Amino acid sequence: MNKIVKNSWALFLGMSMIMLSYGYQNSLLGVRAVAENFSLESTGFMMSGYFVGYFIGARTATPVISSVGHIRVFAAFASIASLSVLLHSVFVNPFSWFLLRVITGYSMVLIYTIAESWLNDRASNKNRGKVLSIYMIILYGSMGMGMFLLNFSKPENFQPFILISAIMSLALIPILLTKRKAPTFKKILSMSIKDLYVSSPLGTIGALLLGTVHSAVFLFFAVYAAEMNFSILEISIVTFLLTISGAVAQYPIGFISDKFDRRRVIIFTTFGAAFFALMLIFSSGTMYLPKGLGSSKNWFYFFVVLFSFCSLPLFSLILAHTNDYITKDKFVAAGAGLQFAFGLGAMSGPFLCSIFMNLIGNNGFFIFIIIFHLMIGFFGIHRMKVRPTLENPDSLFVPMPQTITPVGMELNPSTEHIDEPYPENVEKMLKRKGVVIKKKSSEDDEEKLNQFLLVLTLSPLTLILQI
């Protein structure tokens, strides 16, 4: 563990500051939108821009990083994300903010992709689980702490935007000063939606619906809380509990899913999330009753924790369920396909949620969440009637952050390692020497390395000339 942190401290430190600013920004924009009297539909439209950019970035990250390089792309898009934050304080209107959110989402997915490809390069088959755990702690912990920065200054002021930009800019320093060589970028192919659906209908539909509801939960909860006249500190507490509870829940929920039919666990947790969302409606309705009749906000916090405990592990559950029905060599591709389906749903989540709130009132936020969670649950029941239970699947539950990119899917310790390609010049040299290059499993890596070292030993001059 200490060795992992020592070798990757610059990356972990940089990502912790990125996520600190990310958590702060998400809450700030929701609260500021309410203060600016944006309509709910305008706010939902604006917040959806993040996942529009995220979706576009996820499809185009590979050629951008491959052509420019890891460090340059990280520096460029962290700077762009930092600049876009500042521009929010200059152009205060929903349309401008939508465009800026698209830019932010695009920038963030490239940052995630770079970070996760770097971690893949540092990780081995033996320690991928530990690397992933540290990464998740940094993501969720830093994002949760970022919520409390809302108390730094009033959302109506420009200072919060400066602070977010400053933190994001500071994230560049440890990355740019690292002496470690950036990894060779690996191109990750995804399964088509059609092939993914054939392999796992529940996984595909579940990811699509979950993306819709989770984007609304993460990007619109602060809006709901502001509309309910929560104080800034109370909004910070709510969003913090939402993030941390979901992260902690991954491990007990995952343990249960490895012992029982994973579809049953998905059904029970999604119905549980719907039930606790209903409890949140009841508890919020009693907070403003006359003295002696009203309940404490502590009950609301309590149900937020239980809701998040059931809802947030669902992506990892769906991923594990999908892996139950495919071979290990397809885990990464299937994960990328699920992330694609999740992104499709996420683009519409905040906007659809805003429509519910506008038609029904503030409780429309939780009604929206309840409906989509019930849809996942009922579809799961339907699939259990259609497809028999799979006995003793080979795959195991692995906690995965919801922001995981296709590249990051390889951090799953259950996946087969994706070999780094030889540099083009070395590959040509090996072929001339009669070395046959084949796609081999991880057990053959040592033999491949020995071949490579033998050629280097026998023909150093040839290598120099090739370079």
Kindly report the CATH number assigned to the domain that includes residue 190.
1.20.1250.20
Decide: residue 256, CB within 10 A, 0-12 exposed, 13-18 middle, 19+ buried: middle
For residue 201 the two structure tokens come to 């209908």
In a domain? residue 462: yes
| 347 phi, psi to nearest 5 deg | -60, -30
In a domain? residue 418: no
Are residues 13 and 92 located together in one domain of the fold?
yes
In a domain? residue 219: yes
Are residues 81 and 52 located together in one domain of the fold?
yes
For residue 270 the two structure tokens come to 């999604």
Q: What local confidence, expressed as pLDDT, does residue 210 receive?
A: 93
Q: What local confidence, expressed as pLDDT, does residue 448 receive?
A: 43
Are residues 105 and 206 located together in one domain of the fold?
yes
Largest CA distance in the chain: 88
Q: Which domain holds residue 49?
A: 2-411
Give the single-character DSSP code of 182: P
Decide: residue 106, CB within 10 A, 0-12 exposed, 13-18 middle, 19+ buried: buried
Are residues 461 and 370 located together in one domain of the fold?
no
Nearest alpha carbon to residue 102 among 27, 50, 46: 50
Are residues 196 and 285 located together in one domain of the fold?
yes
User: Which residue has 């038609």 as its token pair?
Assistant: 359
Are residues 375 and 429 located together in one domain of the fold?
no
In a domain? residue 355: yes
In a domain? residue 154: yes
Based on its alpha-carbon atoms, the radius of gyration of the chain, rounded to whole angstroms, reads 23
Are residues 304 and 391 located together in one domain of the fold?
yes
In a domain? residue 419: no
Digitized pLDDT (tens) for each residue of the chain, 467 residues in all: 566 666 677 778 888 888 898 888 988 888 898 888 888 889 989 999 998 998 888 777 777 777 777 778 888 888 899 999 999 988 889 899 999 999 999 998 888 888 888 777 776 667 777 778 788 888 888 888 888 888 888 888 888 899 999 988 888 888 777 766 666 666 666 677 888 888 889 989 999 999 999 999 988 898 998 888 888 899 889 989 998 888 888 888 888 888 888 889 999 999 999 999 999 998 887 766 666 555 678 888 999 999 999 999 898 888 888 888 887 778 788 888 888 888 889 988 899 999 999 998 889 999 999 999 999 999 999 988 888 776 666 667 777 777 777 777 777 776 665 544 444 454 555 555 555 444 444 434 443 444 333 333 333 333 333 33
Q: What local confidence, expressed as pLDDT, does residue 190 receive?
A: 66
In a domain? residue 416: no
Residue type present at position 287: M
Are residues 310 and 430 located together in one domain of the fold?
no
Report the alpha-carbon distance of residue 271 to residue 326 in Å, rounded. Answer: 26
Pair 108, 101: CB distance under 8 Å: no
In a domain? residue 266: yes
Are residues 362 and 453 located together in one domain of the fold?
no
Report the alpha-carbon distance of residue 134 to residue 251 in Å, rounded. Answer: 14
Q: How many domains does the chain have?
A: 2
- Full-model pTM: 0.81
Q: What local confidence, expressed as pLDDT, does residue 1 receive?
A: 55
Are residues 158 and 259 located together in one domain of the fold?
yes
Report the alpha-carbon distance of residue 442 to residue 417 in Å, rounded. Answer: 6
Are residues 177 and 114 located together in one domain of the fold?
yes
Are residues 388 and 239 located together in one domain of the fold?
yes
